[in-house]
A and B are shown apart, each in its own frame.
Chain A
Amino acid sequence: MDIVVCIKRVPATDTAIKIAADGKSIETNGVSFEMNAYDEFALEQALLIKEQLGEGTVTALTIGPSLAQKVMRDALARGADKAVVLTTDEWIYDGAQVAQALATYLQANPAQIVLCGKQAVDSDNNQLAGNLAARLGFGCVTEVTKLELADGTFTAERDIEGAREVVTCKTPAVISCNKGLNQPRYANLKGIMKAKKKPLEEAAADLPAAAMEIVSLELPPARADGRIIGEGVDAVPALIEALRNEAKAI
């Protein structure tokens, strides 16, 4: 069973984002990058499936600059067998563009299971799983919090509004992973040393033209200071008034 995990290199989640001079992208100088946190669940699940089956390969796949090799090394150190960087220097925001480039690779290098995080924590597009499955003609289950595989069929659980949905899906399939699915492992020293000897390939990304363009990028407005309206029951009418007319929250 060949499993591919789609991984995105994202700014560390504690980064204070600054807008670049072009007003359309973020400043990357001084920013450290890491594996998208939801993709860590996807990678862990891929490793668990391989361990369960006792055979198969796990390939970590990303699209981005050559600098993404560092994140791919991390994936190899945790246990992936092979990593591929589809290189581009473009900062891609268009989810369809990413899905098409990954689909092109997957059509040439078929896999039975494709796992990814439910979304990337930088652009929060939440598009890849469905977009990719449609292009590949695969089944798709998103935002999975429990996953079991038996006889080529997944049984997946996903949290929906006020309930938990149980879905079955035959392979080949694209599954997007949510927090709670598993506890991602850390790379150990042996894994890091072994990672050096594992294949890490680069190929130019076959990117279609973008259908979407970022026109401008702005930071959210600074939050205003809090204000004490009054104390005790007497202050309630003024509080309601402020919530209704100033904050327009009720």
Chain B
Amino acid sequence: MSIAGPVRATLPCNMARRIDTYLESLIDEDKFAFYEAVRDFGDAEIAPHLLGWEREHQLVPDSCIRAMGDLGLFGLPIAEEHGGQGGDHTDLCLMGLALGYHSQSVAITPGAAISLGAKPVQLFGTDEQKKAHLPALANGERMFVFGLSEPGRGSDAANPQVTAIRQGDKWVINGEKCWSTNARWASHVVVHALTAPDAPNGKRSTCFIVPMDAPGVFYQEMQGKKVWEQSSTGSIMFENVEVAHDQILGAENGGFKVMVTTLNGGRLFIAALALSSLAFALDKCRIYAEERIQFDEKPIGRFQRVQDVIVDMDIALERGLTWLAHSCKLFEAGKLSRESAAKLKVDCSRSASDLVSLGMEICGGVACFDEFGLIRHHNDLFVTRVGEGSNFALKDLIVRPLRK
């Protein structure tokens, strides 16, 4: 609606986004209507402000987080009985595709709040924990952050250096977590801590729900990050933090299972973010190729080497979206293997990164500028290669069934 805010700001008249064309045939009418609503929200409430936030080095403003909360985005896959929207993983990924088209930073804010924050509570929480937290998580009043990575533990996350030692009815946590997405807004952190150092690998750790305002918890925003610039990434310190035994999420010494299950769904979301950037770049490049006039007063879109890049982007987008839609259905049915989720994330992040770089090359110098938009997606795509399991580490997982 032009009188309330700009729409389809990046596309000329009568030109549908390529991603819309594919999604419309891959998902049902209701899901597409939901995608359209989030897309329109992104066009009106995010796209016009994004450049300003970037140039001011500003995180996603609180007003934008509230607006996303009002839209129900933080409660997408949470059951209606707990105040959520009753959606599924496809809806979550559709939100990622719709918001990520403009900014992965904005999309990951509700994305991580759900897939790394609310989802573990929904999957592993006790009834009391669900009642206590899910309604406030669903409407965006409360946000959980996942405390997994540490300064000395990235891919080797199954063996945390953060420790929790039992003292009667309570546990005492010490150590440091980092790379925690959404830490700035978090009400609680789910800490993945070492609890049984001598147990077999995969049975050594436990997850705890810890309020961010508990004595001994200290948060600091990680400075100097040049990717996902509007997303909060925090370092969280624990100094003799006491937690009651009933704040364990999942089973005692079952933290690895919580972590692995949580990340599996998260990888589909990261694949969606990679595809959203590819979708933006495809539209940007194909339009630019028809508008940029060089040699004989004709557009550069007539050159086959330019067409090659655009066609490869289009192929990768359709392939990725089709695979993502299929994987979301398997995930919902509990049939998606860890290897398959990893393969999807590796392929989408790698293809999108390579192709967006090539896309920038056909646009030339203009692609260096923030207002053109491609450099933002180029930088953010790096996160999709190393986030939620680095691509190189995930290949260790992928190769396992091939070596039996």
Interfacial residues, chain A to chain B (CB-CB below 8 A): 12-16, 30-32, 34-35, 37-38, 40, 73-74, 77, 121, 179, 183-190, 192-193, 196
Is B14 a contact of A16 with CB atoms below 8 Å?
yes
Contact: A73 with B33, CB < 8 Å?
Answer: yes
B76 within 8 A of A: yes
B199 within 8 A of A: no
A116–B49 CA distance with the chains assembled, in angstroms: 30
- Determine if A14 and B13 form an interchain contact, defined as CB atoms under 8 angstroms apart: yes
Known contacts A187-B37, A189-B76, A189-B87; is-contact A179 B4 (Cβ 8 Å): yes
Interface residues in B287-304 (C-beta closer than 8 Å to A): none
- Ranked nearest first, the 3 interchain pairs of A and B with the lowest CB-CB distance are A37-B1, A188-B72, A16-B13
Query: Is the CB of B371 closer than 8 A to any CB of chain A?
Result: no
B33 touching A77 by the CB < 8 A rule? yes
Residue of B nearest to A32 (CB): B16
Cβ–Cβ < 8 Å partners of A185 in chain B: 70
Residues of chain B within 8 A of A179, CB atoms compared: 3-4
List of B residues within 8 angstroms of A196 by Cβ? 30
Question: Smallest distance from the beta carbon of B7 to chain A beta carbons, Å?
Answer: 6
A119 to chain B, nearest CB (A): 11
Chain A residues whose C-beta falls within 8 Å of the C-beta of B38 in the assembled complex: 186
Inter-chain contacts of B85 with A (CB < 8 A):
188-190, 193
From B2, B37, B76, B80, contact of A77 by CB (8 A): B37
Q: Is B350 an interface residue (CB 8 A)?
A: no
On whether the beta carbons of B86 and A38 are closer than 8 Å, the reply is no
Instruction: Chain A residues near B13: list those with CB within 8 A.
Output: 14-16
Q: For the complex formed, measure the closest distance between the CB of A249 and the CB atoms of chain B, giving whole angstroms.
A: 26
Rounded to whole angstroms, the CA-CA distance of A181 and B91 in the bound complex is 32
Q: Which residues of B1-58 are within 8 A (CB) of A?
A: 1-4, 7-8, 12-14, 16, 30, 33-34, 37-38, 40-41
Return chain B residues, CB-CB under 8 Å to A35. Answer: 1
Report the separation of the CA atoms of residues A184 and B37 in the bound assembly, to the nearest whole angstrom.
12
Assembled-state Cα–Cα distance A35/B33 (Å): 14
A37 to B2, CA, bound (A): 7
CB contact under 8 A between A40 and B4, given known A186-B41, A188-B71, A193-B86 = yes
* Residues of A with C-beta under 8 A to B33: 73-74, 77, 187, 192
